């Protein structure tokens, strides 16, 4: 199935947004910050009660994007239909401008492994992911975006470069790509890839959203190091540089600041979003789109 492609942002503007976490529900309502859109984790709104009440109040003024972390598009045994239905119900209630999931897996033998686990880059995994993206889009009756992963291991049977895997999933299923620039930076370091080359290999028309976040670096006794995608700090200089390259290639797309550990005051997130807005504005100016925002 190839769902009709929706415009890049029918509801979510091509500007900077922030990831909304529970800690910021009340501060957002109290201060009504000037931020173009927000994104939440779908799984945090599957029940009733307070979280949904906050989200209902916040989305009156602010477009919301739903970002799932649990669907497991890469599971050999298939996605959990009950989870897909929960996602559909949240979407029905929240009316998100965008919906996204990950190129990852977390379900095997009926066990949920509570993480975004790496896939082997094989033809089999590609077929499995495409099948599940199509199933999801047809069940939700809309196009989804899929996010490139951050990974710490790679498998011996991988034969497809990750950027090619991403591009193929988009081409075969009609889904969009959520280009996580921080994940590219992390994985490129961990596996010795060329981060700029990764960006250059993604199809610009498919990229519907960008994620930015902080990561940390762990150094081992043998002097080697690993970048850890922990979303616990400011976006690094390197990632901002990569982001400017991404905007130059993909144009102005909705860009999200994610922060999930040691969550700072709302102002810190808003500053980061401002930074991204300036990058978008600079690109628009240099391309004669100054009034497009």
Question: Could you list the residues that contact other proteins (CB under 8 A)?
Answer: 43, 46-49, 52, 69-72, 74-77, 80, 82-83, 86, 105-115, 117, 119-120, 122, 124-125, 128, 152-158, 191-192, 224, 226, 228
Nearer to other proteins, 108 or 171 (CB): 108
Nearer to other proteins, 225 or 286 (CB): 225
- State which residue, 35 or 117, has the beta carbon closest to other proteins: 117
Decide whether 2 or 191 has the Cβ nearer to other proteins: 191
Determine contact, residues 276/245, Cβ cutoff 8 Å. no
Instruction: Pick between residue 109 and residue 288 the one whose CB is nearest to other proteins.
Output: 109
Q: How far is the CB of 85 from other proteins (least distance, A)?
A: 11
Q: Report the distance separating Cα 116 and Cα 183, nearest Å.
A: 12
Q: Least distance to other proteins from the beta carbon of 117, Å? A: 6
- Which C-beta is closer to other proteins: that of 81 or that of 205? 81
In the complex, what is the shortest distance from the CB of residue 236 to other proteins, in angstroms, rounded to a whole number? 19
Q: Kindly report the CA angle at 52 between 4 and 140, in degrees rounded to 5?
A: 20
How far apart CA 178 and CA 30 sit, in angstroms, is: 30
Closest CB to other proteins among 24 and 83?
83
CA distance linking residue 19 with residue 40, whole number of Å: 6
To the nearest whole angstrom, how small is the minimum distance from the Cβ of residue 107 to other proteins? 7
SS3 256: strand
The radius of gyration computed from the CA coordinates of the chain, to the nearest angstrom, equals 18
Nearest approach, Cβ of residue 137 and other proteins (Å): 19
Torsion of CA 238, 239, 245, 248, to 10 degrees: -140
d(CA 102, CA 198): 17
- Least distance in angstroms from the C-beta of 7 to other proteins: 30
The helix or strand, by DSSP H or E, that contains position 216, with its residue range, turns out to be: strand 216-219
- Report the alpha-carbon distance of residue 144 to residue 177 in Å, rounded: 8
Measured CA to CA, the distance from residue 165 to residue 169 in angstroms comes to: 6
* Of 50, 180, 38, nearest in space to 103 by CA: 180
Minimum separation from the CB atom of position 81 to other proteins (A): 11
């Amino acid at each position: 199935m190839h769902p009709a492609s929706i415009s890049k942002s029918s509801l979510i503007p091509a500007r900077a947004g922030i990831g909304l976490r529970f800690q910021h529900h009340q501060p957002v309502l109290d201060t009504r910050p000037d931020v173009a859109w927000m994104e939440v984790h779908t799984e945090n709104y599957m029940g009733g009660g307070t979280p949904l009440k906050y989200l209902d109040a916040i989305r009156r003024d602010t477009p919301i994007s739903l970002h799932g972390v649990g669907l497991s598009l890469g599971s050999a045994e298939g996605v959990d239909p009950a989870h897909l239905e929960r996602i559909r119900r949240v979407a029905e209630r929240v009316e998100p401008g965008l919906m996204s999931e990950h190129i990852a897996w977390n379900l095997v033998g009926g066990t949920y492994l509570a993480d975004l686990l790496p896939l082997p880059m094989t033809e089999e995994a590609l077929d499995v992911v495409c099948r599940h993206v199509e199933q999801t889009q047809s069940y939700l009756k809309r196009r989804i975006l899929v996010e490139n992963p951050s990974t710490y291991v790679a498998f011996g049977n991988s034969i497809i470069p990750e950027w090619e895997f991403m591009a193929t999933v988009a081409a075969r299923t009609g889904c969009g790509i959520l280009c996580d620039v921080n994940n590219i930076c992390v994985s490129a370091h961990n596996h010795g890839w060329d981060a700029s080359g990764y960006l250059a290999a993604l199809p610009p028309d498919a990229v519907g959203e960008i994620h930015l976040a902080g990561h940390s670096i762990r150094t081992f006794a043998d002097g080697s190091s690993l970048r850890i995608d922990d979303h616990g700090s400011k976006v690094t200089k390197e990632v901002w540089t990569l982001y400017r390259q991404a905007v130059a290639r993909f144009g102005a797309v909705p860009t999200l600041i994610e922060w999930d550990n040691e969550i700072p005051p709302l102002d810190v997130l808003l500053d980061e979003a401002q930074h991204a807005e300036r990058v978008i504005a600079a690109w628009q100016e240099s391309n004669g789109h100054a009034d497009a925002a």
